[in-house]
């Protein structure tokens, strides 16, 4: 069974992607920036953007697919300024100090326009059953 989770972002339909996809026990959450519902950046610092991404975007997407951060096995952090790598790492540590997923952190030349410092992707694997609305 395959489920596509949407955030309602118009780019998902326009560009042909989903906020998250669950296939069996595997969940992939698409690259996520700290954008509010109007597409505006939330947070001026790396820590603020990472917190918004996890608390407002990734954790709810995982929850909607009957998973949680404890199911995350891999994270990918794409930063626009490698000199902020330590700040990104410290913010990541807040969520994963015990879970310790495999992690990649790379610098990219740019993200979608708007002042975003970081984009985060996660992969999760869960033994939890499918959410009732998808079963």
Tell me the domain boundaries of the chain.
Answer: 2-125
**What is the architecture of the domain spanning 2-125?**
2-Layer Sandwich (3.30)
Mean pLDDT of the region 41-46: 96
Confidence at 52, pLDDT banded by 50, 70, 90: very high
Reported in sequence order, the residue ranges of the chain that DSSP labels E, i.e. its strands, are 2-5, 20-23, 26-32, 72-79, 102-107, 118-125
Confidence at 72, pLDDT banded by 50, 70, 90: very high
Confidence at 15, pLDDT banded by 50, 70, 90: confident
Mean pLDDT of the region 83-96: 98
- pTM of the entire structure? 0.93
Structure tokens at 62: 């995982």
């Amino acid at each position: 069974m395959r489920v596509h989770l949407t955030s309602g972002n118009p780019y998902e339909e326009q560009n042909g992607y989903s906020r998250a996809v669950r296939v069996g026990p595997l969940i992939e959450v698409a690259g996520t920036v700290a954008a509010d519902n109007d597409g505006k950046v939330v947070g001026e610092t790396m820590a603020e953007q990472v917190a918004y991404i996890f608390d407002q975007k990734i954790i709810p997407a995982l929850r909607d697919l009957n998973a949680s951060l404890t199911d995350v096995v891999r994270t990918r952090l794409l930063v626009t300024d490698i000199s902020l790598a330590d700040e990104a790492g410290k913010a990541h540590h807040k969520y994963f100090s015990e879970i310790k997923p495999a992690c990649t952190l790379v610098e990219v030349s740019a993200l979608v326009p708007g002042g975003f410092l970081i984009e985060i992707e996660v992969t999760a694997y869960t033994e939890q059953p499918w959410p009732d609305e998808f079963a």
